[in-house]
């Protein structure tokens, strides 16, 4: 506190004991540092942690606890194209089909969820705005396409990671224009057959889309 003597009531200003106690407390407690810490841990979304992110989540309408099985959990199963399961005696069965499955997001996941939900709340859902948002959000090429009358598609040129699939398919947080039927398509272009100059693959190296 600055100019601490100016804050004392006149009847206590000449008490050496009270003045000494206040001076010692003022030395131990640095309000400037506390205010800065509060800003970094709560107010600044980029640096917020723990309960600070929980507060942000309540503001935009999301929760750290998600009512579904952990999408990144390792489980027993067969080898598939997009999901890597594990053989016998290495992992347990998946709990994805249980009625009360849930898991808790870590700070990094919750921060991503908050940013996406906030954007979904305020973005003007036009194709240019949505595509600008997608370029910021995802690490690889993806875009929002108008494919017909009141129809649109989110097209991903890569396979979504487990947490990204949760955001897109389970929570449905990507912006959706009012009254427009939206679907989603994941297609890794480097595995698709096509013609020269398109970025696709030649005969015997790619499959039909």
- Alpha carbon distance 13, 49 (integer Å): 41
Model confidence band, residue 202 (pLDDT cutoffs 50, 70, 90)? low
Q: In what order do the strands lie in the sheet with 142-148?
A: 142-148, 151-156, 181-186
Task: Note the maximum CA span of the chain.
Answer: 94
Predicted confidence (pLDDT) at residue 100 exceeds the cutoff of 70: no
pLDDT at 2: 67
Model confidence band, residue 135 (pLDDT cutoffs 50, 70, 90)? confident
pTM (2 d.p.)? 0.64
- Alpha carbon distance 144, 134 (integer Å): 8
pLDDT at 71: 62
Measure Cα distances from 140 to 10, 163, 172 in Å. 67, 15, 19
End-to-end CA distance of the chain, in Å? 68
Q: Left (φ > 0), alpha (ψ -120 to 50) or beta: where does 168 sit?
A: alpha
Q: What's the chain's length in residues? A: 209
- Please write the tens of the pLDDT for every residue from 35-83: 888 999 999 999 999 999 999 999 999 888 887 666 666 666 666 655 5
């Amino acid at each position: 506190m600055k100019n601490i003597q100016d804050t004392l009531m006149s009847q206590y200003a000449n008490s050496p004991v009270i003045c000494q106690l206040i001076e010692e407390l003022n030395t131990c407690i640095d309000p400037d540092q506390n205010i800065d810490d509060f800003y970094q841990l709560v107010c600044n979304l980029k640096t917020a942690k723990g309960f600070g992110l929980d507060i942000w989540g309540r503001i935009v309408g999301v929760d750290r606890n998600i009512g579904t099985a952990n999408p990144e959990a390792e489980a027993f199963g067969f080898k598939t194209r997009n999901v890597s399961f594990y053989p016998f005696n290495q992992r347990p069965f998946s709990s994805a089909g249980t009625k009360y499955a849930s898991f808790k997001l870590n700070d990094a996941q919750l921060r991503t969820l908050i940013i996406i939900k906030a954007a979904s709340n305020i973005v003007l859902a036009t194709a240019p705005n949505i595509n600008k948002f997608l370029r910021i959000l995802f690490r690889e090429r993806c875009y929002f396409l108008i494919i017909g009358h009141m129809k649109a598609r989110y097209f991903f040129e890569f396979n979504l990671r487990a947490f990204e699939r949760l955001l897109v398919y389970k929570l449905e947080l990507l912006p959706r224009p009012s009254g427009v039927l939206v679907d989603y398509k994941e297609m890794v272009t480097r595995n698709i057959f096509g013609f020269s100059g398109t970025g696709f693959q030649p005969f015997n190296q790619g499959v039909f889309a």
